[in-house]
């Protein structure tokens, strides 16, 4: 199971940044087998299942991955929140290279989502994000095949922003084996996540992932 999670996490590196990550990016830490202790401080004791030096998550149910997680801290922030008692915070603790990123994420069995259209939404707030922050979701199938993916590559969040609700929407095929989702931060800055939801929606809600399709052949002479 740990090897499978490490393989999936390595695949995420190449996909999450859509060109922002380099092939030399290292494999991110695997998901801890036991929940971490809740804490408002991003500094927690390392676990035995993660790569040496990589931060573990103090938020039960969530874990940290990415191409440069050692340059980031993750924690609960009771002072900056959209609702409830606290929000999740991910922020650069050093000056990471522009193509380095970290993600606070979950992986869940498809269960009730099989054959359905699913929306992952959350409120996000950012401060001094130099590259971009985003929500993301990925659907995996048998043999590690990616069945759907969106990381808001064409609608990134940058700079300093107030609380805004964002969403990514994907179809979950009947042969899906996992649904992966989270918040992504590339480069320097800080981002907050709160009031997240993963829900089934009907076909009137458009899918946000996938490649754009032209209505007819375009620019075949490469003159545009």
The pLDDT tens digits for 40-80 are 222 222 222 333 344 567 899 999 999 988 899 999 999 99
- What's the predicted TM-score (pTM) here? 0.73
Share of the chain above pLDDT 70, in %: 69
Measuring CA to CA, which residue among 28, 29, 31, 84 is closest to residue 62? 31
Residue 99 scores a pLDDT above 90: no
Among 134, 139, 136, 135, residue whose Cα is nearest residue 117: 139
53 torsion bin: left (phi>0), alpha (psi -120 to 50), beta (else): left
Domain ranges for the chain, please list them: 2-44+52-201
CB 46 within 8 A of CB 52: yes
* Average pLDDT of span 176-204: 97
Between strands 101-108 and 117-140, the pairing is unpaired
Q: Under a CB-based contact definition with an 8 Å cutoff, are residues 82 and 58 in contact?
A: no
Does the structure show a pLDDT above 90 at 13?
A: no
pLDDT value of position 2:
47
Between CA 80 and CA 54 the distance in angstroms is 25
Q: Report the pLDDT value the prediction gives residue 181, as an integer from 0 to 100.
A: 98
- Chain-centroid distance, C-alpha 62: 11
**Which of 90-94, 107-111, 117-121, 169-173 has the least mean pLDDT?**
90-94
For the domain 2-44+52-201, what is the CATH code? 2.60.120.260
Query: How many other CB atoms sit within 10 Å of the CB of residue 135?
Result: 24
- For 115-168, how does the pLDDT look when each residue is reduced to its tens digit (9 = 90+)? 999 999 999 999 999 999 999 999 999 998 999 999 999 999 999 999 999 999
């Amino acid at each position: 199971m740990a090897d499978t999670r490490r393989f999936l996490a390595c695949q995420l590196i190449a996909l999450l940044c859509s060109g922002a990550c380099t092939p030399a990016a290292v494999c991110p830490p695997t998901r801890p087998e036991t929940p971490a202790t809740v804490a408002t401080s991003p500094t927690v004791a390392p676990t035995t299942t993660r790569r040496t030096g990589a931060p573990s998550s103090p938020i039960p149910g969530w874990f940290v991955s990415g191409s440069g997680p050692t340059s980031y801290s993750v924690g609960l922030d009771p002072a900056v929140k959209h609702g409830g008692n606290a929000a999740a915070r991910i922020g650069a603790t050093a000056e990471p290279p522009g193509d380095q990123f970290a993600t606070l994420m979950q992986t869940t069995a498809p269960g009730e989502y099989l054959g359905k259209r699913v929306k992952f939404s959350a409120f996000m707030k950012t401060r001094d994000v130099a590259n971009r922050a985003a929500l993301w979701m990925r659907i995996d199938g048998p043999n590690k095949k990616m069945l759907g993916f969106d990381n808001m590559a064409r609608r990134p969040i940058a700079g300093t922003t107030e609380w805004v609700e964002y969403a990514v929407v994907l179809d979950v095929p009947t042969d899906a084996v996992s649904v992966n989702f989270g918040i992504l931060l590339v480069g320097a800055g800080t981002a907050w996540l709160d009031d997240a939801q993963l829900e089934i929606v009907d076909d009137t809600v458009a899918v946000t992932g996938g490649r754009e399709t032209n209505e007819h052949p375009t620019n075949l002479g490469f003159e545009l």
